[in-house]
């Protein structure tokens, strides 16, 4: 799947380059800003996703919306003519959620809690197709490919449902589980630009959607040496970004 995605991205870039007129003017720009990253909802997550499995089979209670996080980005753009543009960018987001066992607690009634944290650093290559000309209101759409470096952790106290103590309660233990690496997948985007007093500066608003998942280590179903309950961490979701564009 990753190989096919890479080939599709390369073909899109090649097709755009071929279609660009040889005499077209080259314009470079910087695009930077921030916004919010919203992970995919439970019903649309990848098969075998850790977070969905925690909710449905792991007996944990938390809100996926708590993993919504601020997002910062920077991008270098090369425009070929008025309607075609290539971009290479870097972003960062980090979110966290608190979880607890739905049906189990300590003998004193206190919750057995965990902290879930997801950090992503997307490196993107995209091609945009723009309407109108620089210095005008410019709606656009684009496609590309993203390589997302990620780190996902679950830390806190966990229950071993295979062991009970002298009181008949499940044994609990502290642990931290980590999944990290880089996943590759497609990105689609749409947005618009509004000139700020000319064609040098512009205000941007953009929606991006990523479709990809990373690998997560699995292990036994209980005990301090256990891994995650599933072997994937869905990294898909949407950025809603606001930014500034500087042409030079």
- DSSP string over 127-153: EEEE-S-TTS-EEEEEEEEEEEEEEEE
Task: Take residue 47 and report the two structure tokens written for it.
Answer: 């098969």
Q: Tens digit of pLDDT for each residue in 67-107?
A: 999 999 999 999 998 899 999 999 999 999 999 999 999 88
Does this model's pTM top 0.95? My answer is no
Are the C-beta atoms of 87 and 75 separated by less than 8 Å? yes
Tell me the C-alpha distance between 102 and 91, whole Å.
35
Domains along the chain?
2-18+29-247 (2.40.160.20)
Tell me the C-alpha distance between 69 and 35, whole Å.
9
Q: Tens digit of pLDDT for each residue in 167-214?
A: 778 889 999 999 999 999 999 999 999 999 888 999 999 999 999 999
Residue 223: is its pLDDT beyond 60?
no
């Amino acid at each position: 799947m990753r190989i096919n995605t890479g080939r599709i991205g390369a073909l899109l870039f090649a097709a755009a380059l071929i279609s660009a007129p040889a005499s077209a003017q080259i314009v470079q720009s910087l695009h930077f800003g921030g916004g919010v990253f919203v992970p995919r909802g439970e019903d649309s997550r990848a098969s075998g996703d850790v977070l969905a499995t925690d909710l449905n089979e792991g007996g944990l209670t938390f809100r996926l919306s708590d993993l919504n996080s601020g997002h910062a980005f920077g991008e270098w753009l090369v425009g070929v003519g008025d309607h075609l543009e290539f971009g290479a960018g870097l972003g960062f987001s980090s979110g966290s959620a608190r979880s607890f066992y739905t049906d189990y607690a300590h003998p004193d009634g206190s919750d057995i809690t965990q902290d879930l944290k997801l950090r992503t650093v997307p490196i993107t290559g995209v091609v945009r197709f723009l309407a109108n000309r620089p210095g005008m209101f410019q709606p656009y759409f684009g496609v590309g490919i993203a390589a997302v470096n990620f780190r996902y952790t679950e830390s806190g106290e966990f229950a071993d449902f295979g062991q009970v103590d002298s009181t008949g309660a499940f044994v609990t233990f502290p642990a931290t589980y980590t999944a990290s690496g880089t996943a590759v997948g497609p990105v689609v985007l749409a947005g618009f630009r509004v000139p700020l007093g000319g064609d040098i500066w512009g205000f941007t608003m953009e929606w991006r959607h990523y479709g990809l998942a990373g690998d997560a280590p699995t292990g036994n179903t209980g005990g301090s040496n256990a891994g995650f309950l599933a072997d994937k961490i869905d990294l898909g979701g949407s950025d809603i970004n606001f930014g500034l564009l500087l042409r030079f």
